[in-house]
Every structure is written in C-alpha cells, then in structure tokens.
Amino acid sequence: MKNLKRQWKFIVVLITGAVGLISQFALHSKSLFSIGNLQFPVHAIIIDIIGILMAISLLLEIFHDWKTGRYGVDILAVIAVVSTILIGDVWAEGMILVMMTGGETLEDYATGQANKELRALLDKTPRIANKLVDGKITEVKVDDLQVGDTVLIKPGQQVPVDGQIVKGTSSFDQSSLTGESVPVTKNPGDELMSGSVNGDVAVEMKVTKAAKDSEYQSIVALVKSSQAQPAKFVKMADRYAIPFTVISLIIGGVAWAVSGDATRFAEVMVVASPCPLLIAAPVALVSGMSSMSAHHIIVKSGPTLEKLARAKTFAFDKTGTLTENQLIVDQVVTDDKSFDQKELQSLAASVEQQSSHVIASSLVKATDKDLIHPVTNLKETTAQGVEGDVDGKHVKVGKLSFVAPGHEKLNVTSTAVYVSVDGKFAGYITLKDKMRPESSKTIERLRRQGAEDIMMLTGDHKQVAEKVAKEAGITDVRSELLPSQKIQAIKDVPKHLRPVVMTGDGVNDAPSLTAADVGIAMGAKGAKGATAASESADAVIMVNDISKVNDAVAISKHTMKVANIDVLTAIGVVIIIELIAFTGVIPAFWGAILQEVVDMITISLGLLAKTKPSDKQFGLEEK
C-alpha cells in the first residue's frame, strides 16, 4: 500500500507537469491575477497547489517521526519546496517534486530488485493439489487438504504439504529447503517436505500436516514477516540527519546573507534535498537481506544487520546446534570374556530394534544390519529397558538397575545402555552426541571475524558439555542451565562485549534467543522445537549448517560497509554541489536535475551490498 501511494504521487506530479507545460507553451496561459510584481499564470497555480499538498504530506510524516523520537532530513525537502514557491521559480519547484516522488519510486524499484530472492519463495508456493478420492484425481486448494488425505505427486510437481509416501519411489529435489545439491531418494514410509520437487516417478502421499503447519509454508511465513518489517537503518540515518541538515541550512543562510538575494538560499536548498541520504541506507540493507536469503538465511528486519556487523559475543546451545542431535556409539565395553565388542553390540541392537526410544534407534542405526538378528519373546519395561531372546540367549538392555542389580557402583559419566546375557552382566555401550563437522571451523572463523567472547550455554551435564566444548574449541562453558539461567547469562554480558548473538534450535532456546541482541535459530527440517525457536529469533538459518552464522556475520559487515560508504558519498557529493550553488552558478532548475543524478549514484552504490563479501569478512583469512 505504501509503495502504491508513492507511485500515485509520482504519477500525479508527472501529470501536473505535463498540464503545466501544455498550459504555458501550447495554450500561452496568461496570469489569472497578480500581487504587486508577482504574476500567477495557470501553470504556476497548478504546480504550486501540488507543491503545497506535497509539502503538507511531508510535514505530517515529519510530525509522526518526531512523535516516535526520530529526527530526519525531510525538513530540507519541505524548505526546498516552500523556497521555490516563494521566489516564483515554478519549474524548479516542479523538478523538486519530480525528484522527491521519483526518488521514492526508484527506491521501491531498487528494493524490488534487491528483494528478488525473498519473493521467489512466495512465487513458488504450492497452491493446487491432486487429491485422490476413491482412486479418482480431484484438484483441490492446498489449504483445503486435511491430515489423512491421500495426494498424488506427479513428476516435476511440488509437494503441496508435509506428508509420508504410501506408494511409489522417486527422487526429490530439496535444494530450496535444505541446500542439498543432490536429489534425495524417497521410499514408502519416508517423509516428504512441502516445497520439494518430485523427480521422474509419480508417488502417492498421505498428508501428515495441514498447509499452515507444513515446512514450506513456515518458510513463506518467515519471508512475509521479513518483508513486513521496514528495512530502514534508523540509527545510522539519524546519526547523519541532524549535522547534514544544520550544514545545509548554514550554507544556504550564508549564501543569502552574502548575496542579499533569497533566490540564492532557494538554490542551495534545492540541491540540499535529502533524497540521496534517505535512499542510501535502505537500499543497501535490503540488498544485504536479499544476499542473506540467497545464502539460506532469513533476516526479519534491517537493524539486525547492524547488530550482527558489530557483534562481539556469540553464544551457542549445544544439542542440535553445535551437535547434530544424533547419538552415535562412542565405546563398547565388555565385562565378560565370552563376548567381544562386536557381539555385545550385535545382541544389544537386536533387542532394541523395535524400540522407538532415541537411544535405542541410535544404537540400531550405528550397528551393521548384518549384525542385527531376529528377536523373540520381546518385553519392554517402561522407563527401564527391554529384554528378549536372540540366538538362544536371553538379553536385557537398559538401565543398570534393571539389567544387573548389584552393579550400581559402576561409574559411567557418559550416556550409556547396559547389557546382560542370561542373567549375567556383560558390559555397556556409551553413546555421544555427534558433533557437527563444521562446528570447530565455525568457532575459529568467528574469532577471525572479530568475536571477542564465545560461550556455550546448555542444560546438559558438565562432563558432556565440556567434552563437546573442547572439541568445538570453546573455553567458556556454562552447563546444567535452566532456560531462565541462559537468559541471565546473556544479560550478564558486560556492555563492552555487546551486541550478543545467541544461536539455538529448540523450544528451550526460544527465551534466550529473544533475550539476546540478535537471536539466530537453526530452523531446518527435523530440528525439534525449530518452529518455536524461529518465531523468537531475529534471523533463521534454513539449512542444517551452523557455518551459516559465519555467512551472516560476513554479509552484515559487508552490507554495513557499503551502507556507510553510500551515505557518506551521498552527503559529500551533495555538500559539494551546495557549495557550487552558493556561488549562484547553478539555477534551481538544474540543481534539481543534479539531485536526480545523485539519486541514481546512491541507488547503484547501495545495490553493491549484493556483491560477495571479502574472504576476510568471511573469516577465511588470518587477521
């Protein structure tokens, strides 16, 4: 709506200018009336009316900004319009109006160009689905699909909602969701993410989530959220606004005083119109947000980029953030010479193969399929363990008190399952959370990017936390923390080590993501609690790759560098033109045209934020 309003202003100004030209040159308009030596022809009255209306519109916006505590440079635009009206330079006034409204329209265009990657997700949103009813295909709206419905996914079609394959095998392109460059083969029983694209074979899928709860739609919601928040760099714009306004007024006032001609003041005010300054930072920021999106990072607001660029402290959750939230076998320890490590793991995995517990499924997944044998007389004791017969042996797997009473003094600090065979304690298997392969490099690169403190905040046990932290290269470890204690740890960071960036993935991380100056959520498919974390975060990493934090920092630093250069360039060029106008060699009309040239330069520089940051900004070079 705001963009449409700007476009209509520009159209009205152009129409007014055209009518004015026709009135003056084609119809040879004469004065309707005069006051003293001032003449008021038809074309001047038409343009003056529009100029006054535009000035009033700007004053209302300025008043609104003042109420919110923002002091901008729009006041210079109002002074420029009023000055040209008072000195009777109607065509200079018209050029200022074209400059103001045209500059806003150009900004919208540049923003649209920089925002292509964000809009691409919206454009690809699945809208129609092929629902199967009694074997017949019925086209329905995606929003009308319900959990339990069966949908046919034809070759080349997008998966409309999250579901599970019930018939057929095909490969699916999930690159827009996960960043995987190679299509993934999906079989009956496998889950499908909405937004992924089917390969060459039609499959039937059972709907497991409604459209509003599905993966692709959640990404779209995040994109809409990022678009709904204005990407205005308020702090930087305000920092430059007041001194720029004061300098411009001084130059204009001195020009008037020296020349004794109010026209000279108006000529300086025309070139002092603040369009370039107003355009510079927003275009750069939106370009930076677009670059983030291309790297599978969705940023919800422009100010997040400034905070990321200046961040000094980075905090990480452990499980699902630095680690993959996937247990792997660490050690197999036998207590009976009758069994070697391979056989002990085989017996334990065979008994656990039908259990849905995360430890059981991790153990089975880590064991060679050829070593998993049939189990009979399977029995599960809630919260204790399972037992059954494997190859003629009665095997119990679970807690030590369940498997081998009397061995409770055994001190194992890691996550472990204990095993007994035919009533005799046989040993135990320890498991550890699998470290993300990119975690240690991510921490190392953050230090190269300027991080002064990196800490791990986790609710896990001290021994486990310290082991993971050591592997990741983190020395500041806070373990066994409740969510409230994580928040307090973030609040306790001293002022000279701020802003603080917190990265997490689960429901328990949501409060600390909100408490941090910048919260980054690991929002990829499969992360438990990712939705809650994403809603609380300022930025969301949409792929399962923690090194994207490095990318976010690099892009932010690059964007802010471009934004600052753009703003300072715009101010420098405008002040130079003001000083030239001070001498009286630039008529107001041509000053307004020069402003349009500066606008174009500013927009072009702002779009450079979409270019690739340097290796140093990415943390790939030694300091």
Looking at residue 367, its pLDDT comes to 92
Least confident interval from 10-19, 407-416, 572-581: 10-19
Q: Which pLDDT band, with edges at 50, 70 and 90, does 93 fall under?
A: low
Please work out, in degrees rounded to the nearest 5, the angle formed at the alpha carbon of residue 43 by the alpha carbons of 38 and 46.
100
Q: Is the pLDDT of residue 359 over 60?
A: yes
Is-catalytic flag, 108? no
The share of the chain scoring above pLDDT 70, in percent, equals 73
Looking at residue 235, its pLDDT comes to 52
Q: Which is catalytic among the residues 317, 505, 517, 551?
A: 317
Please name the residue that has the structure tokens 């990119």.
Answer: 438
The phi and psi torsions of 102 (rounded to 5 degrees) equal -70, -40
Mean predicted confidence (pLDDT) in 116-144: 78
pLDDT digits (tens, 9 = 90+) for 382-423: 768 899 999 999 999 988 888 988 777 777 877 788 999 999
Q: Measured between alpha carbons, how far is residue 490 from residues 8, 220, 444, 473 in Å?
A: 47, 30, 21, 20
Looking at residue 406, its pLDDT comes to 78
The phi and psi torsions of 449 (rounded to 5 degrees) equal -85, 0
Please give the model's pTM, rounded to 2 decimal places. 0.66
**Helix or strand holding residue 502 (H, E):** strand 500-504
Mean predicted confidence (pLDDT) in 342-361: 88
Please name the residue that has the structure tokens 């402003």.
Answer: 595
Looking at residue 28, its pLDDT comes to 53
Least confident interval from 22-36, 435-449, 482-496, 514-528: 22-36
Cβ atoms of residues 386 and 363 within 8 Å: no
Q: Which pLDDT band, with edges at 50, 70 and 90, does 233 fall under?
A: very low
Q: Is the pLDDT of residue 339 over 60?
A: yes
Cβ atoms of residues 416 and 428 within 8 Å: yes
**Helix or strand holding residue 132 (H, E):** strand 128-133
Looking at residue 234, its pLDDT comes to 45
Long-range contacts of range 397-404, CB-CB < 8 Å, 24 or more positions apart? 397/348, 397/351, 397/352, 400/428
Q: Measured between alpha carbons, how far is residue 133 from residues 139, 149, 150, 188, 538 in Å?
A: 10, 9, 8, 20, 42
| Alpha helix (H) residue ranges in 483-547 | 483-491, 510-515, 530-536
Half-sphere exposure of 16 (CA within 13 A, CB side): 26
Q: Is the pLDDT of residue 223 over 70?
A: no
Mean of per-residue pLDDT scores for the chain: 79
Cα separation of 623 and 621, whole Å? 6
